[in-house]
Amino acid sequence: MKTHKVDFDVVVIGGGPAGLSAALTLARARRSVLVIDAGEPRNAPASHVHNYLGREGIEPGELLAVGREEVAGYGGEFMAGRVATAKGSAADGFRVVLEEGAAVAEVTASRLLVTTGLVDELPPVPGVAERFGREVLHCPYCHGWEVRDTPVGVLATGPLAVHQAQMWRQWSDDVTLFRHTAPDFDDEQYEQLAARDIAVVDGEVAALEVTDDRLTGVTLAGGRVIPVSAVVVAPLFTARGGLLADLGAPPVDREMAGQVIGSHVPTDPAGATSVPGVWAAGNVADPTETVIGSAVAGLRAGAAINADLTAEDTRRAVAARRRDAA
């Protein structure tokens, strides 16, 4: 029979870098903290984490394992499962109900931190989803070094593709921009591409070519195959914000250069949402954040939550002192 576990200072929903960093901060602040994790990290397809100072090249799973061990060392607790609903308020506390199959049916907390991340919605081209995180890439700072000096193709699905191609030109002098479903570029953009020796190929991409479990080329709708070693895409970064929407802080569109690139939940610089007592950090709040940036955002949110709880502790202590004096 399932048990009910109650009265954590903070429940963190999501066990990625943002959630673990916040949990570490809170546990070191002597707060009771529970991390609920569904075990679906966004960077699971990637083999290594990059630009994380002191942890450069670490495997994503190893980084999470080390983080969990550090949090547990300060008394933080963990629960595997998926949250079905979260309701309540900062004044009365929050009730978090888990989906069927979790070891515990529900927990309560004084504050909530949501670090559920996002989903990369990929272009519907055969082979893209299967190779994503390997040779199908989106972030040059995460993967550019690994494909340096090799033929790189950019799959254009919007006007930002020109900017993408220019960025990836930093890592390779053999960049091809496949116009695919993007609108035609203007004269200035074509001039910029020509000046950087970036080839432009018209026509839609039909599929990716894979040989011996390695990406080898891009097949156009007419059957022509152009060799590449990597393909760059622009996913739609969709926030996993259903729980936050239920609490009253729904995701909104995130734009870049006038184009919607995904969604996010608005927060202040410390991660506070529009709902008192509810914070968000990591990719659910900023879809362009890196792993190390998400960890920093988690630290800030954890510190802000502790400060908020400290203020509440003080208010209660003052009220109790006045009652005793009366």
Overall average pLDDT of the 13-18 stretch? 97
Overall average pLDDT of the 86-92 stretch? 94
pLDDT over threshold 70, residue 5:
no
Burial of 297 (0-12, 13-18, 19+ CB in 10 A): buried
Between 267 and 257, the more confident residue is: 267
Q: Is the entire prediction scored with pTM above 0.95?
A: no
pLDDT at 1: 37
pLDDT over threshold 70, residue 326:
yes
Overall average pLDDT of the 201-215 stretch? 96
pLDDT over threshold 80, residue 80:
yes
Overall average pLDDT of the 101-112 stretch? 87
pLDDT (tens digit, 9 = 90+) per residue, 21-51? 999 999 999 999 999 999 999 988 889 999 9
pLDDT (tens digit, 9 = 90+) per residue, 269-298? 999 999 999 999 999 999 999 999 999 999
- How far apart (Å, rounded) are the C-alpha atoms in residues 256 and 163? 11
Q: What is the band of 204 on the pLDDT scale with cuts at 50, 70, 90?
A: very high
pLDDT (tens digit, 9 = 90+) per residue, 121-139? 999 999 999 999 999 999 9
pLDDT (tens digit, 9 = 90+) per residue, 220-256? 999 999 999 999 999 999 999 999 999 999 999 999 9
pLDDT at 44: 87
Its sign, for the CA torsion 215, 221, 225, 231, is: negative
- How far apart (Å, rounded) are the C-alpha atoms in residues 181 and 202? 9
Is-contact 227 213, C-beta < 8 A? no
Average pLDDT in the chain = 95
- 238 forms bridges with which residues in the sheet? 119
pLDDT over threshold 70, residue 114:
yes
What is the helix (H) or strand (E) element at residue 306, kind and residue range? Answer: helix 291-325
Overall average pLDDT of the 56-78 stretch? 97
Q: What is the band of 6 on the pLDDT scale with cuts at 50, 70, 90?
A: low
pLDDT (tens digit, 9 = 90+) per residue, 128-173? 999 999 999 999 999 999 999 999 999 999 989 999 999 999 999 9
Overall average pLDDT of the 188-213 stretch? 96
Alpha helices in the chain (DSSP H): 17-28, 60-73, 128-131, 140-143, 161-168, 187-195, 242-247, 291-325
Q: In what order do the strands lie in the sheet with 225-227?
A: 205-211, 214-220, 225-227
Question: Residue 106 phi/psi, 5° resolution?
Answer: -160, 160
